[in-house]
Chain A
């Protein structure tokens, strides 16, 4: 691959624009950034439009744009589960999270663990929530880097050795610097640019590419027939049907439990803003559906047969399908725009994720266990420093460890994060649940989920569960959170009675 000067020029120019915006953001809706909820939640003042951009930029990440079409390119219809998933997330957002926002706003919570600590009065349960959040988010940040690395490689930068990682490291130093100074305001402002670039790219893609390939009919006709639908189940198994549905449903339940999603939600200015966005964010879902179809366009365009892309596919596998498609279909300057959209699409969620981890560490570990009496300024400074450490960790992860592990860990992250559903959901919508029962449920869910993933060699999160002779292949996260719920519900009344009788205080 040779370095394309025009594409690279446009790419770098857009990147510089965004860098500038990131620093200017510190003065946007000016407030004292030495207070954690100003730095880490943008002062809870984002209205409907800013929240739309922020959550859209937060949830539809660069990795999504690369990996979803790559999955469709590789396995076909199964990769489309991302679409029913995005259909199901918005009713969940509408029903659950305005209430969480309200409680968090009234009681000054910054993280989900804050809420759990306050609601159940258990430091241990809050610790479990905080650690789960941090552990699940770290590989997610690393994956954003993977997305960015693919487009930087596709631009023609050398990819071997330390020099190969240099563009990525520079990008992350910039990211770390403006996150440090501006907090959540930076990704909120940058998300506006990112989304406009993404929308421009996708609309160009769905018009230009089918025109070049002879229309949608021709695109689908060139895809092998067996890829176009899910294979019909055989024998006593629900096969791909239950896998498809449970992947979509489990992922939808897990999404808003991720700390970065929580941060985006809590930074809204009211519950009404969240409800409106539950409808308006579907615009992104639709775009995601179109992006998924890029996988088929790449098959139709025969990107894998172009010798110029051989090195790219060798290095990045099917993740290279979309960049290769853009390189073949767009003129140089627009390739620059499209790649910048993806790279900036990595910056926004990476910034929010690192802020979310920093909030969790500072609020629920540092302040809770080491410095309960720290001042607001100390608290905010700690969070800023942690946001730096988190990013350094993510870069080190990507540079030092094979990519496959980042993907496996992200997969485990989904299984771990969904275990926060019982404490959050039951905390919001029920009265008496025993904190210790919830903690044991969390442990049971985490262990069983990890075990289910381990039986698949951590390569797939679909576990073939057998019940009464029928095999139900399904998302391990969904199965394990059921275990979690059952344990919590069964033990809660028992533990309540036991603890009351012995006169012991509640857990924690």
Chain B
């Protein structure tokens, strides 16, 4: 709300673009509106969408892990800068 420029800016949030994947998985209905190939007697329409749930969950989890890592890296860089710092930083 108060200005969107948080530390790291867009760099910190790049993993979020991956969240488009779950939407793409189910976006084009005719692509999965079919019976074949069936899996164990389950038509494609059903097992594909059930599998898409798992992939979607995997993507969200991945984004979370990546963001945690990106944030840590940025903080470490910042800390290094601070410690190498000029006298002004200490005061």
Contacts and interface: CB of A to CB of B under 8 A. Distances in A.
Tell which of A91, A220, A283, A285 has the most Cβ of chain B within 10 Å: A91
B22 A244 contact: no
Contacts of A86: 53
Interface string A283-309: 101100110010000000000000000
Contact of A87 (B16, B52, B63): B52
B31 to A, nearest CB: 10
Contact of B64 (A221, A228, A275): A275
A229 B40 contact: no
A91 B19 contact: yes
Interface SS, B side: helix
A216 B40 contact: yes
A428 B60 contact: no
Contacts of B64: 94, 275-276, 278-279
Given A229-B34, A244-B29, A286-B53, A278 B41 contact: no
Most buried by A among B4, B41, B49, B53: B53
A255 to B, nearest CB: 15
Contacts of A228: 35, 43, 45
A248 B54 CA distance: 17
A84 B60 CA distance: 15
A328 B50 CA distance: 26
Contacts of A279: 57, 60-61, 64
Contacts of B19: 91, 94-95
Contacts of A84: 26, 49, 52
B50 to A, nearest CB: 5
A286 B54 contact: yes
What is the interface of chain A mostly: helix, strand, loop, or mixed? Answer: helix
B90 interface: no
Contact of B33 (A215, A241, A283): A241
A103 B50 contact: no
B22 A91 contact: yes
Interface of B: 1, 4, 16, 19-20, 22-23, 25-27, 29-30, 33-35, 38, 40-43, 45-46, 49-50, 52-54, 56-57, 59-61, 63-64, 67
Given A216-B40, A228-B45, A279-B57, 10 more contacts: A80-B46, A83-B53, A88-B26, A91-B19, A94-B64, A230-B29, A230-B33, A241-B29, A245-B27, A286-B53
